[in-house]
């Protein structure tokens, strides 16, 4: 039986992810608990993978041999064996950047992310690069929730495909997860976003926190953001200054964690932002290209977030040996 080149490549991707994800490996040393009564929730996350389904080539000047979807799958599986109370998240721009996107327009990316076991993702501006119809076709391969609260799709064919938020429950802890996307004007051609309305991310975030706290009774609130992370000097060079993750964290009460993307910012550990009320929000972003997996362990005691530990885990053959 003849198999098309497209089907051959797609089967190969699926087989590679499945094989390496199932490979035996030494387990990661368990995280230290602060007390017997604590619950640990683990967040694993990526952002701006940009269709890097295979490792960077060995002759790449910066990222030689790093990344790869199959290696990521193996590391995720290993961590989930250690702590079943784990969510795998992505902060957008899974599309665009390699021939896999040129050939499949996001279908391969979402198929591989489904095989790895992503739970919730948001949209980046590059998810619109081939238009709404192509995004809708790619979503047929998504076995995960896609959230974005400040894009209104009601007048598009995606009106029933993108949710403003979802609620997941792990170990009795209700976790509300919502998405925020960057303004598409100037980044995405108008024909590729016809009918999509953009809302202010600050007002949207405040509304999401109210909904998740009051209606959904969420204990933890996570924002998947594709707004970016900016230093003040960067913001002042732009008119009007962009609203990024730090601005959301400082201005919006009640967000526990912001998993960020868009600016390809490599962070070794989460940044702790204090709000005017005295509360804190954690911000974490792990570069681009799928060469790092972010890990954030949250410790819950008596229905309160009492501690955290975060790390950036390199994706390489050596790290998994």
* Angle subtended at Cα 272 by Cα 268 and Cα 275, rounded to the nearest 5 degrees: 160
| pLDDT tens profile 294-305 | 999 999 999 999
| pLDDT tens profile 114-149 | 999 999 999 999 999 999 999 999 999 999 999 999
Residues above pLDDT 70, as percent of the chain: 88
| pLDDT tens profile 214-253 | 999 999 999 999 999 999 888 888 878 899 999 999 999 9
Whether residue 23 is predicted with pLDDT greater than 90 in this model: the reply is no
Q: Which two tokens stand for residue 7?
A: 């089907």
Range 42-320: architecture per CATH:
4-Layer Sandwich (3.60)
Give the pLDDT score at 240: 84
Give the pLDDT score at 276: 79
Give the pLDDT score at 120: 98
Whether residue 65 is predicted with pLDDT greater than 90 in this model: the reply is yes
Domains of the chain, residue spans: 42-320
| Full-model pTM | 0.89
Give the pLDDT score at 36: 53
Nearest to 127 by CA among 198, 49, 73: 49
What average pLDDT does the structure give for the chain? 90
Mean per-residue pLDDT, 29-43: 65
Nearest to 255 by CA among 287, 211, 292, 288: 211
Give the pLDDT score at 24: 30
Cα gap 218→199, rounded to integer Å: 23
């Amino acid at each position: 039986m003849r198999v098309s080149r497209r089907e051959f490549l797609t089967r190969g991707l699926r087989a590679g992810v499945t094989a390496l994800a199932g490979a035996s490996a030494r387990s990661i040393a368990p995280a230290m608990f602060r007390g017997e009564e604590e619950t640990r929730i683990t967040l694993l996350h990526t952002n701006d993978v940009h269709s890097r389904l295979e490792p960077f080539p060995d002759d790449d000047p910066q990222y030689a041999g790093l990344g790869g979807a199959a290696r990521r799958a193996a590391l995720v599986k290993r961590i989930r064996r250690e702590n079943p109370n784990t969510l795998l998240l992505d902060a957008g721009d899974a599309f665009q950047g390699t021939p896999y996107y040129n050939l499949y327009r996001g279908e391969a990316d979402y198929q591989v992310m489904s095989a790895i076991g992503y739970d919730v993702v948001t949209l980046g501006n590059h998810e619109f690069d081939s238009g709404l119809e192509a995004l809708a076709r790619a979503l047929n391969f998504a076995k995960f929730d896609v959230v974005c609260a400040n894009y209104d799709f009601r007048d598009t064919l995606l009106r029933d495909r993108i949710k403003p938020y979802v609620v997941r429950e792990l170990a009795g802890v209700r976790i509300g997860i919502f998405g925020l996307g960057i303004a598409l004007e100037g980044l995405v051609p108008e024909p590729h976003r016809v009918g999509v309305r953009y809302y202010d991310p600050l007002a949207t975030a405040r509304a999401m926190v109210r909904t998740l706290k009051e209606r959904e009774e969420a204990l933890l609130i996570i924002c998947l953001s594709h707004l970016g992370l900016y230093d003040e000097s960067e913001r002042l060079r732009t008119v009007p200054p962009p609203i990024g993750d730090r601005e959301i964290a400082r201005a919006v009460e009640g967000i526990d964690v912001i998993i960020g993307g868009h600016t390809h910012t490599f962070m070794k550990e989460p940044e702790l932002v204090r709000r005017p009320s005295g509360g804190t929000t954690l911000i974490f972003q792990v570069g681009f290209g799928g060469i790092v997996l972010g890990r954030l362990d949250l410790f819950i005691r008596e229905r309160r977030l009492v501690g955290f530990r975060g790390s950036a885990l390199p994706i390489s053959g050596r790290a998994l040996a």
